[in-house]
């Protein structure tokens, strides 16, 4: 009877231990699952934050670019006080920037043309300077050559020849239908026919003609 009693107690103890063991949660597995889920959520949050930061940087860069354009381009300044409190749209800023760049290109081309014209004028003046220096040198080397051989009439003929040549181009280029058109044509004629190189060619031609008449 004693043995049977002990066997009954052991059996009941094993039964209780088995039931208790089955009712205790598996904390190791649950901790592992929770850690994986936490890492997964953390990685998503990091990617989301990185994307948000990159997008914010991009927007800040675009905003700074538009602000710089408005500060650099003069035409982006507000002229109408009634809309001074309103910001210019990005489309308007871009259009005004394009217009200003085109204006700068035209100004650059115009200045290049002016520089080219000035260089030609300088070259013509240098040629005239060399010719005058040669004339002065020839006169200094032979001070008595040709003395008292040129009359006032010859000087007048030279002057008349130069004026006749200029008048021909003036008469062909200048219109007198109105004072405004006359003024515009005169300035255009001066720029075209009174350049140093053009005048030099005229004078040389007249001098050759007078010289052929004298000798």
pLDDT tens by residue, 28-45: 555 555 555 556 668 788
Q: What is the signed CA dihedral for 84, 88, 94, 96, rounded to 10 degrees?
A: -20
What is the mean pLDDT of the segment spanning 158-171? Answer: 89
182-204 b/e with 16+ CB inside 10 Å = b?
eeebeeebeeebeebeebeebbe
The count of domains in the chain is 1
**119 within a domain of the structure (yes/no):** no
Most confident of 82-91, 187-196, 206-215: 187-196
- Residue 69 CA to residue 63 CA, distance in Å, equals 10
**138 within a domain of the structure (yes/no):** no
**197 within a domain of the structure (yes/no):** yes
**167 within a domain of the structure (yes/no):** yes
- Residue 48 CA to residue 12 CA, distance in Å, equals 57
**112 within a domain of the structure (yes/no):** no
**Domain containing residue 158:** 152-214
pLDDT tens per residue, range 134-146: 878 877 777 665 5
């Amino acid at each position: 009877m004693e043995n049977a009693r002990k066997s009954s107690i052991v059996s009941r103890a094993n039964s209780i231990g088995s039931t208790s063991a089955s009712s205790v949660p598996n904390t190791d597995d649950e901790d592992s699952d929770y850690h994986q889920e936490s890492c997964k959520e953390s990685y998503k949050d990091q990617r989301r934050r990185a994307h948000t930061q990159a997008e914010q940087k991009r927007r800040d860069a675009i905003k700074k670019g538009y602000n710089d354009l408005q500060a650099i381009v003069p035409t982006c300044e507000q002229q109408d006080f009634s809309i001074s409190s309103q910001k210019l749209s990005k489309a308007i800023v871009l259009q005004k920037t394009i217009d200003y760049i085109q204006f700068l290109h035209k100004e650059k081309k115009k200045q290049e043309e002016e520089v080219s014209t000035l260089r030609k004028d300088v070259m013509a003046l240098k040629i005239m300077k060399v010719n005058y220096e040669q004339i002065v040198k020839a006169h200094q080397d032979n001070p008595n050559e040709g003395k008292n051989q040129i009359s006032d009439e010859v000087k007048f003929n030279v002057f008349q020849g130069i004026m006749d040549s200029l008048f021909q181009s003036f008469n062909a280029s200048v219109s007198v239908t109105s004072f405004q058109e006359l003024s515009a044509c005169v300035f255009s004629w001066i720029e075209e026919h009174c350049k140093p190189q053009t005048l030099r060619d005229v004078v040389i031609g007249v001098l050759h003609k007078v010289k052929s008449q004298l000798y």
